[in-house]
Structure 1
Amino acid sequence: MATLSLTSLPRETRDVLFLLAVVAWVVGMQVGHVPWWCSALTAGVLVWRAVLALRGLPLPGWPWRLGLLLLTLLATWATHGTVLGQDAGVTLIVVLLTLKTLEMRARRDAFVIFFLAFFTLLTHFFYSQSLLTAAGILLALLGLLTALVNAHMPVGRPSLVQAARIAAGMAAMGAPIMLVLFLLFPRLAPLWGVPSQSDTGRSGLSAQMRVGQIAELVLDDSIALRLRFDGTPPPPGQLYFRGPVLSDFDGVEWRPVRSEFPTRLSLPANLSVAGEPVRYEVTMEPHRRPWLFLLEAATQAPEVPGARVRMNDDLQWITNRPMNSLVRYRAESHTTFRHGPLEPALALQDHVALPPGYNPRTLALAQQLRREHGTGAEANPRLIRTVMERLRTGGYSYTLTPGVYGRDTADEFWFDVRAGFCEHIASSFVVLMRALDIPARIVTGYQGGELNGLDGYWTVRQRDAHAWTEVWLAGQGWVRVDPTSAVAPGRIGAFERLRAPEGAIAGAIRNLTPNLSAQLRAAWEALNNSWNQWVLNYTQGSQLDLLRNLGFKSPSWTDLAYVLLGVVVIASLLGAAWTLWERQQHDPWLRLLRRARLKLKALGVDSAEHTPPRELARHIQQRWSGDDAAAQGVAQWLLRLEAQRYARPASPDMNTLATLQREFRQLAWPRPITASR
């Protein structure tokens, strides 16, 4: 069976197949963000259209297209509950782009597909602005430009390579303009949103913590934030990045204190710090929550473009809008700090409350410990040390596969399973503390990170999401206690992380080339970080910093507008100069002949654009007598002009074009012949 080659196909079929391949790449990048039926439908339509093109069959009629459109609308409504909004809109534009290929009969229809595809490219930024996404979009853009250039070459069979070369040249010529607009065009609020991501069964943070419902935790290796410290970073055991604080417990789920209830009393932060601050810069990935992650504990609000930032009573930093795009901010924190009330307060009762009827064996253990160590507040530090020692020596383990817990999660952890990840350990510890009448709560966030030796940034991943606890002690306030450090000390001090099970191939590659894998990963993440720092995080402040570097002392938006206007004017003048120069380079021989023709026309000798110099010389000799020296000089000059262009082989004494141009300026032209003569 002979193999199919693009060169053997008719041009129309070849062009259709190429355009379908580009459309497939554009919509294929959305596979992870659209419903399964959308991917299946678009794939089926594109294959159907390709078969029709290969076999030369007619396109389907309007009933087919209308039926597919109605099916798409119904499926979109059933999936998203609406046909409006971001996710539903992306689903519709992907399907409509592919359906348009079923009525591509003329160049006009192809142009509609081009512009729909360009618009669809923009929707990829709703979900990711990573370097990999940008590379995929650039490839799709070059493919669409190639198809567009090819559509404007209707005659003959121009090769796709030729069209691609022209498209690449157009993109290269437009690159300086894009760079100037990127640097100087006023920064607007981000147009892109990010999709909500379910964190069930994956490491990461959420506003609640449901204990014991996940049988197996899958470590998410995606990046949560990157940091660059101005000086020496804190010790590993102090890298705690604070997130939501969970105090309400209903026996199954931990939630933040719901302060909207009038029965709730607030506990002021009363933050006091000591020592020199740690200064650092954070680049935080979008997480669609109104949270900022700072190293414990920060006293000053970081500046986030377009957002107001405040610290709540739990020392968590909150913004007035979700963080839907990459954001960079500077902060300073004190690793030595104290917060919360120093004396007993009524609001602390909310932090010893337990739901009735849960964890009876843990309550009994608390009564036993109280009998052994005393009931007064002075016994609380001793009780905390005793519980931590129980975790260290009681055969408890830190694992990703603890199995599903039952109703009484604390009882099962302390007495039966004796294994879990940080949420089991922290929850069980707080339940026991509250049973001991010691105020306690869970703090979630990130702990640890890893240094990328290539760019000097610390990388904190979703797998570094952590839950620790705070207990309240008289005279000290809230004190951090991390029970996981007693079960698995390496998790905190040495950044040792559990690894999710790998496949056979991935495991073999890691075992054979561990150093190479680590180096490639570090290089890729350093490259992504550079993309984040210099492209995605090029903010309004960065534009003003650029003006400062250009010599502006106190730059403003007016200065930015003047600079942009000046660049536009200079670029326009350079373009005009280039056009003039380029026009001068167009065949100076033809330009010289045109000047001679215009001069002769003024003398009464008309000629066409295609009249050669020899014919012009003959007209001159016929019009003026042979004794007119000026006419004979012009005729001889025209003959030399023709010889300079067409004489082969060239003689050594042949006039150069520069010589002919000089002679033209020195020619004596004959007088016009009047009618009376």
Structure 2
Amino acid sequence: MLNRLTTLPRDTRDTLFLLVVIAWVMMPQVSHLPLWCTALAGGVLVWRGWLAVAGRHLPSLGWRLALLALTMGATLWTHRTLLGRDAGVTLIVVLLALKTLELRARRDAFVIFFLGFFTMLTNFFFSQSLLTAAAMLIALLGLLTALVNAHLVVGRPPLTTALKTASWMALLGAPIMAVLFVLFPRLAPLWGIPSDAMSGRSGLSATMQVGNIASLALDSSIAMRIKFEGQPPPQSVLYFRGPVLSRFDGREWLPPTPRPGVREMPANLNVLGPPLNYEVTLEPSNRPWLFVVDATAQAPRLPGFELRQTPQLQWLTSRPLTDIVRYSASSHPDFRYGPTRASGAALIALRDDVALPAGFNPRTIALAAELRRDPALATAPAPVLVQAVLQRLRSGGYRYTLDPGVSGQHSADEFWFDRREGFCEHIASAFVILMRALDVPARVVTGYQGGEVNSVDGFWTVRQSDAHAWAEVWEDGAGWVRVDPTGAVSPGRIGTFQRLQAPQGVIATALVTLSPDLLARLRESWEAVNNSWNQWVLNYTQSKQLNLLKNLGFESPSWEDLARLLMGILVLASLVGAAWTLWEQSQHDPWLRLLSRARRKLAAAGVAVPAQAPPRELARLAGQHFGSGPRALALQQWLLQLEQLRYAPVASKAASRQRLATLRREFNHLAWPDR
């Protein structure tokens, strides 16, 4: 098979190489494309490859028009439109595959190159991860190699020659791209498409049904990374506040809704102790939520967004977060907030936090009545009732589990009396329902708790599996107080930071069996690399550009300063390149340089070349070494033309320079003979 590939005609070989590159460009998008699109594009590429190998004619115009009509109809049927990101990417992928059925001439190849580069960029509509970038870098080199190969002279030059030229072009262009990346003004996120960029993302929800946070425990993807100033705090205080849920309809916990004509209660936040300073890199969630450690008296610093804080201490942004964002915050783990006395408007608001829907969880309500009949608890304040319920959790045989089963209509009854096991939201929901039945204002808070430090880069990593639900109870004189009933059932979940683990795959299990620490080290290393990519590439924002200008001495940098600096660097680089070229030409004879290159090439091929051999002597030695094949004759002819240029009369210096440039190009594209 390998021998057959090496003996294929050049057109067939080049076509197969281009088809492989196109397939590589399309491959990362398979999970985002309709099944018919992947099947049609793959089938067309295989068909075109078979036509090339078999030497068959390309399909007629009727076939191509029929496939185009099928593509348009299927796209319209799948996406209900031909516009937008998803429909547009579907069309461009199939059209790129269909264009290969018209690959007859060089101009057709150039159209395919253009479509290939554009399709390569569309991969970043779905993901800007390091893996995607690495795959597209390989695709870029492949397309550049095919493009260079299409410009090579007639013959069968090896693809490695085109690859070397393409790699050298990419390497020369890298400094320019780096300067453009650093200094080109960033007016808006390049890849963010708010309408549909976050489809399929998972994470915390704005509501909570018993069981939906448990599903996140199976997701080990990263929710956010934190860099603390100084020593990180204990894991037990790392509660990252998200949505606060105070309405319960019997099955689902919902956020509070303001009553018409009733003024919303202020937060009345009172922070204690020194602040905890840190920086958060938050992954996209398509939600307008910023997660901070309870609680922040000042708004997190996130340029480009308007922020507001709810009376429940949750920070909201002006728009959903569809890109990675980085913000800094100062939190106080020791704090008090909310009304301290149940009077006036506060009393009206607190009534909503003891409301329970009728007809749900009758045994839990009966349990509350039984507790109240205890003389020690009949008139006890909220802190005493909280401790009594927590003690019941500690001593009642309750268990913390990842798979508690599906809850029925009376979820709290099932937890307290039947199953006696649950995940954090089962425990928090049942706890809040019981506290409300005891006439104690209580509500559910969702967010993340804990995390782990990455030993490679020192960032604190919080995963989706760290999603958590806890409770807040209102106490007279103290306001809202955090109570985490999960800690009473499983202290390791909060204190020593023991997490329930989802079942691992075969490979992960094998790695853990082979070396218990190997998988953890590999994951930490990979996540550290990804974090560096996020910090220095994806999160390189306009504010960072302006901070760079400040460090360079600009007092009040702006976009105009960025543009002027960029143009100045490009002009300076152009002048330096032109000056170096002129100096090199004045110091060296270009004809001698070209002859020296020919000597080195012959010596590398095994020809014994005298140091001062002229072109005619080199041609004679090449003929002796390589024989009389067509490539050897082409090389000898080129050497004789080089000699003629030096010693034969020419019409003008301009004609001589033009002829030298032609010989230089021909030498670069010579198909080197085999011995």
TM range (shorter): 0.7 to 0.9
What residue is the counterpart of 2:299 in the other structure? Answer: 301
Are the counterparts in 2 of residues 296 and 333 from structure 1 also a CA contact under 8 Å?
Answer: yes
State how far apart, in whole Å, the 2-side matches of 1:613 and 1:269 are.
89
State how far apart, in whole Å, the 2-side matches of 1:55 and 1:586 are.
51
Q: CA 1:525 to 1:215, structure 2 compared with 1: closer, same or farther past 3 Å?
A: closer
The alignment status of 1:67 with 2:66, answered yes or no, reads yes
Give 1:247 shift. Answer: 1.4
State how far apart, in whole Å, the 1-side matches of 2:21 and 2:592 are.
44
Give 1:141 shift. Answer: 0.7
For 1:480-559, what aligned pairs fall within 5 Å after superposition?
A: 480-559=482-561
Q: CA 1:213 to 1:129, structure 2 compared with 1: closer, same or farther past 3 Å?
A: closer
What residue is the counterpart of 1:238 in the other structure? Answer: 237
CA RMSD of superposed structures (Å): 2.4
Give 1:220 shift. Answer: 0.8
Q: How many residues align?
A: 595
State how far apart, in whole Å, the 1-side matches of 2:386 and 2:44 are.
65
Q: CA 1:432 to 1:123, structure 2 compared with 1: closer, same or farther past 3 Å?
A: same
1:265-306 CA deviation, whole Å, 9 max, x = no partner?
Answer: 523211110111001111111111111111110111122232
Deviates more, 1:6-15 or 1:508-517: 508-517
Are the counterparts in 2 of residues 224 and 460 from structure 1 also a CA contact under 8 Å?
Answer: yes
State how far apart, in whole Å, the 1-side matches of 2:211 and 2:314 are.
26
1:639-676 CA deviation, whole Å, 9 max, x = no partner?
Answer: xxxxxxxxxxxxxxxxxxxxxxxxxxxxxxxxxxxxxx
What residue is the counterpart of 1:619 in the other structure? Answer: none
Give 1:218 shift. Answer: 5.2
Deviates more, 1:141-150 or 1:304-313: 304-313
What residue is the counterpart of 2:115 in the other structure? Answer: 116
The alignment status of 1:210 with 2:246, answered yes or no, reads no
What residue is the counterpart of 1:336 in the other structure? Answer: 334
Partner AA of 1:497 in structure 2 = R
Give 1:50 shift. Answer: 1.3
Give 1:586 shift. Answer: 6.0
Give 1:480 shift. Answer: 0.5
What residue is the counterpart of 1:178 in the other structure? Answer: 177
What residue is the counterpart of 2:463 in the other structure? Answer: 461
State how far apart, in whole Å, the 2-side matches of 1:460 and 1:529 are.
13
Partner AA of 1:167 in structure 2 = A
The alignment status of 1:131 with 2:130, answered yes or no, reads yes
Partner AA of 2:569 in structure 1 = V
The alignment status of 1:441 with 2:443, answered yes or no, reads yes
Give secondary structure in 2 for the equivalent of 1:225.
Answer: strand
Partner AA of 1:465 in structure 2 = A
What residue is the counterpart of 1:639 in the other structure? Answer: none
State how far apart, in whole Å, the 1-side matches of 2:237 and 2:217 are.
25
State how far apart, in whole Å, the 2-side matches of 1:362 and 1:399 are.
21
Are the counterparts in 2 of residues 216 and 403 from structure 1 also a CA contact under 8 Å?
Answer: no
Give 1:374 shift. Answer: 6.5
Are the counterparts in 1 of residues 217 and 464 from structure 2 also a CA contact under 8 Å?
Answer: no
Q: CA 1:215 to 1:298, structure 2 compared with 1: closer, same or farther past 3 Å?
A: closer
What residue is the counterpart of 2:27 in the other structure? Answer: 28
Give 1:30 shift. Answer: 0.6
Are the counterparts in 2 of residues 281 and 331 from structure 1 also a CA contact under 8 Å?
Answer: yes
Could you tell me which runs of 5 or more consecutive residues in structure 2 were left unpaired when the two chains were aligned. Answer: 594-640, 650-675
What residue is the counterpart of 1:402 in the other structure? Answer: 404
Are the counterparts in 1 of residues 442 and 471 from structure 2 also a CA contact under 8 Å?
Answer: yes
What residue is the counterpart of 2:427 in the other structure? Answer: 425
1:186-240 CA deviation, whole Å, 9 max, x = no partner?
Answer: 12211223743557xx7x3111112247996652111111111111222111001
Q: CA 1:558 to 1:389, structure 2 compared with 1: closer, same or farther past 3 Å?
A: same
Q: CA 1:613 to 1:244, structure 2 compared with 1: closer, same or farther past 3 Å?
A: closer
Give 1:339 shift. Answer: 0.9
What residue is the counterpart of 1:275 in the other structure? Answer: 273
TM-score if structure 1 supplies the norm length? 0.83
Give 1:142 shift. Answer: 0.7
What residue is the counterpart of 1:644 in the other structure? Answer: none
Are the counterparts in 1 of residues 213 and 425 from structure 2 also a CA contact under 8 Å?
Answer: no
Partner AA of 1:467 in structure 2 = A
Q: CA 1:4 to 1:217, structure 2 compared with 1: closer, same or farther past 3 Å?
A: farther
Q: CA 1:489 to 1:559, structure 2 compared with 1: closer, same or farther past 3 Å?
A: same
State how far apart, in whole Å, the 2-side matches of 1:612 and 1:125 are.
51
What residue is the counterpart of 1:53 in the other structure? Answer: 52
Give 1:612 shift. Answer: 8.1
Give 2:418's match in structure 1, choosing from 398, 416, 439: 416
Give 1:242 shift. Answer: 0.7
Give 1:75 shift. Answer: 3.1
State how far apart, in whole Å, the 1-side matches of 2:648 and 2:87 are.
72
State how far apart, in whole Å, the 2-side matches of 1:373 and 1:482 are.
26
Partner AA of 2:425 in structure 1 = E
Are the counterparts in 2 of residues 101 and 113 from structure 1 also a CA contact under 8 Å?
Answer: yes
1:83-137 CA deviation, whole Å, 9 max, x = no partner?
Answer: 3222222222222222222222222222111111211122222222121111111
State how far apart, in whole Å, the 2-side matches of 1:213 and 1:573 are.
62
Are the counterparts in 2 of residues 303 and 309 from structure 1 also a CA contact under 8 Å?
Answer: no
Q: CA 1:175 to 1:366, structure 2 compared with 1: closer, same or farther past 3 Å?
A: same
Give 1:263 shift. Answer: 6.6
Give 1:152 shift. Answer: 1.4
Partner AA of 2:429 in structure 1 = S
What residue is the counterpart of 2:252 in the other structure? Answer: 253
Give 1:434 shift. Answer: 1.4
Give 1:175 shift. Answer: 0.5
What residue is the counterpart of 2:635 in the other structure? Answer: none
Deviates more, 1:490-499 or 1:52-61: 52-61
Are the counterparts in 1 of residues 213 and 468 from structure 2 also a CA contact under 8 Å?
Answer: no
Partner AA of 1:317 in structure 2 = W
Higher RCO (CA-CA < 8 Å; seq separation 6+): 2
What residue is the counterpart of 1:669 in the other structure? Answer: none
What residue is the counterpart of 2:611 in the other structure? Answer: none
Partner AA of 1:425 in structure 2 = I
What residue is the counterpart of 2:613 in the other structure? Answer: none
1:452-504 CA deviation, whole Å, 9 max, x = no partner?
Answer: 12211101111111111111111111110111111111111122111111234
What residue is the counterpart of 1:623 in the other structure? Answer: none
Are the counterparts in 2 of residues 373 and 379 from structure 1 also a CA contact under 8 Å?
Answer: no
For 1:119-198, what aligned pairs fall within 5 Å after superposition?
A: 119-193=118-192, 195-198=197-200
What residue is the counterpart of 1:665 in the other structure? Answer: none
Give secondary structure in 2 for the equivalent of 1:280.
Answer: strand
State how far apart, in whole Å, the 2-side matches of 1:561 and 1:459 are.
37
Deviates more, 1:367-376 or 1:392-401: 367-376
Partner AA of 1:428 in structure 2 = A
Q: CA 1:253 to 1:265, structure 2 compared with 1: closer, same or farther past 3 Å?
A: farther
For 1:534-613, what aligned pairs fall within 5 Å after superposition?
A: 534-584=536-586, 587=589
State how far apart, in whole Å, the 1-side matches of 2:419 and 2:642 are.
98
Partner AA of 1:58 in structure 2 = H
State how far apart, in whole Å, the 1-side matches of 2:436 and 2:6 are.
78
Q: CA 1:369 to 1:111, structure 2 compared with 1: closer, same or farther past 3 Å?
A: same
Are the counterparts in 2 of residues 443 and 469 from structure 1 also a CA contact under 8 Å?
Answer: yes
Give secondary structure in 2 for the equivalent of 1:423.
Answer: helix
State how far apart, in whole Å, the 2-side matches of 1:57 and 1:390 are.
80
What residue is the counterpart of 1:599 in the other structure? Answer: none
Give secondary structure in 2 for the equivalent of 1:514.
Answer: coil
Give 1:366 shift. Answer: 1.2
Deviates more, 1:438-447 or 1:297-306: 297-306
Give 1:74 shift. Answer: 3.3
Give 1:378 shift. Answer: 4.3
Partner AA of 2:51 in structure 1 = L
Give 1:57 shift. Answer: 1.6
For 1:598-677, what aligned pairs fall within 5 Å after superposition?
A: none
Give 2:356's match in structure 1, choosing from 351, 354, 357: 354
Structure 1 or 2, whichever has the larger Rg, is: 1
What residue is the counterpart of 1:316 in the other structure? Answer: 314
Give 1:46 shift. Answer: 1.5
